[in-house]
């Protein structure tokens, strides 16, 4: 029996989800009501269509694969049963009542247990999110945890909230997504933004377009300001090489 679930305002502003067809987005929401408290449900395309999109002509299997490629879902097999797991379900849903006292009857998604559809649509193996597994999804270089897409979006939103110009958000996120792959990268990006916000050029009202800054945020990690001379705005000097950082593509606010 379908359950009542919450939809947060951020759902409608998710730029990755916005690239998908409207019916695929609607299907994604519908899956929440079919999933158990752990965000799992059986992979039954015909049943899902009847429950979620009974009056629309659409290919549910293809739509589920699309959501899996974008990392919103994991489709895997355990004990000869095909299962769907909604990746960030427990993060965004508050389970209450009798359901909170229950547990999933479906086996969890785990590394090395069966096959699943990864972000490129090919069979791959990554870590699950049960217990300590929620802290990571697979391993990256040097055997370090790599963040989920939802976590990267959360990092970006925290930085974008503080960025003084709101122009170029979509391209800014794309630059951020390809350059920030770990908690360490995020910490460096936060440091770079703090340095930028403290700079004289920002205080004087010269703000880079968001896309431009996030494409070159590493230039600001070791940025230091020199004293102003002759009544002019101070020149930015990068501590590691002492070279002047110009103010190309900045706009006067």
Q: Which residue's structure tokens are 């490629």?
A: 69
Q: Could you give the dihedral angle defined by the CA atoms of residues 212, 214, 217 and 223, in that order, rounded to the nearest 10 degrees?
A: 60
Residue 4, in any domain of the structure: no
Number of domains, the chain = 2
How large a percentage of the chain has pLDDT more than 70? 73
Q: Could you give the dihedral angle defined by the CA atoms of residues 172, 69, 146 and 78, in that order, rounded to the nearest 10 degrees?
A: 160
Q: How many CB atoms lie within 10 A of CB 189?
A: 21
Same structural domain, 156 and 133: no
Residue 143, in any domain of the structure: no
| Average pLDDT score over residue span 80-107 | 87
The two tokens of residue 51 are: 């429950």
Same structural domain, 130 and 155: no
Query: Is the pTM higher than 0.85?
Result: no
Same structural domain, 23 and 129: yes
Same structural domain, 109 and 154: no
Same structural domain, 218 and 198: yes
Residue 2, in any domain of the structure: no
Between CA 17 and CA 8 the distance in angstroms is 14
Same structural domain, 49 and 19: yes
Residue 116, in any domain of the structure: yes
Residue 3, in any domain of the structure: no
Expressed as residue numbers, the domain containing 162 is: 149-252
112, 137, 162 - which closes a domain: 137
Instruction: Give CA separation, 232 vs 160, 201, 202, 228, 235, in Å.
Output: 29, 11, 14, 6, 9
How large a percentage of the chain has pLDDT more than 90? 36
Q: How many CB atoms lie within 10 A of CB 90?
A: 15
Same structural domain, 171 and 229: yes
pLDDT at 107 over 70: yes
pLDDT value at residue 85: 94
Of 96, 111, 91, 114, nearest to 39 (Cα)?
Answer: 91
Instruction: Give CA separation, 113 vs 87, 109, 118, 139, in Å.
Output: 16, 7, 14, 16
Q: For the chain, what is the mean pLDDT? A: 78
| CB-neighbour burial class of residue 123 (10 A; exposed 0-12, middle 13-18, buried 19+) | exposed
Out of 6-10, 141-145, 225-229, give the one with best mean pLDDT: 6-10
Same structural domain, 113 and 156: no
Q: Across the chain, which distance is largest between two alpha carbons, in Å?
A: 76
Of 199, 160, 196, nearest to 176 (Cα)?
Answer: 160
| Average pLDDT score over residue span 86-93 | 88
Residue 71, in any domain of the structure: yes
137, 172, 206 - which closes a domain: 137
Q: Report pLDDT digits (tens) over 171-226.
A: 899 889 889 988 888 899 999 999 999 888 888 888 889 899 999 999 998 887 66
* 107 or 227, which is more confident: 107
Same structural domain, 207 and 236: yes
* 85 or 152, which is more confident: 85
Same structural domain, 157 and 90: no
pLDDT value at residue 52: 96
89, 117, 137 - which closes a domain: 137
Q: How many CB atoms lie within 10 A of CB 212?
A: 20
Helix (H/G/I), strand (E/B), else coil: 249: coil
Same structural domain, 131 and 157: no
Q: Which range is least confidently modeled, 25-34, 101-110, 204-213, 225-234?
A: 225-234
pLDDT at 42 over 60: yes
């Amino acid at each position: 029996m379908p359950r009542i679930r919450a939809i947060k305002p951020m759902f409608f502003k998710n730029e990755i989800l916005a690239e998908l067809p409207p019916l695929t987005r609607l299907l994604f929401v519908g899956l929440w009501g079919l999933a158990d408290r752990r965000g799992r449900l059986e992979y039954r395309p015909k049943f899902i269509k009847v429950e979620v999109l009974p009056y629309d002509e659409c290919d549910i299997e293809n739509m589920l694969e699309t959501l899996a490629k974008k990392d919103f879902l994991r489709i895997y097999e355990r004990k000869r049963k095909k299962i769907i797991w909604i990746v960030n379900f427990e993060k965004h849903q508050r389970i209450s009542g009798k359901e909170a006292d229950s547990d999933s009857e479906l086996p969890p998604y785990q590394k090395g247990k069966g096959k699943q559809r990864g972000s490129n649509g090919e069979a791959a193996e990554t870590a699950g999110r049960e217990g300590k597994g929620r802290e990571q999804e697979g391993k990256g270089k040097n055997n370090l945890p790599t963040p989920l897409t939802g976590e990267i979006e959360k990092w970006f939103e925290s930085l974008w909230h503080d960025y003084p110009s709101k122009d170029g958000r979509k391209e800014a996120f794309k630059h951020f997504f390809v350059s920030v792959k770990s908690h360490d990268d995020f910490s460096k990006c936060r440091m770079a933004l703090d340095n930028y916000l403290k700079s004289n050029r920002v205080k004087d009202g010269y703000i880079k377009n968001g896309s431009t800054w996030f494409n070159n945020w590493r230039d600001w990690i070791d940025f230091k300001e020199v004293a102003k001379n002759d009544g002019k705005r101070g020149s930015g000097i990068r501590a590691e090489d002492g070279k002047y950082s110009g103010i190309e593509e900045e706009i006067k606010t």
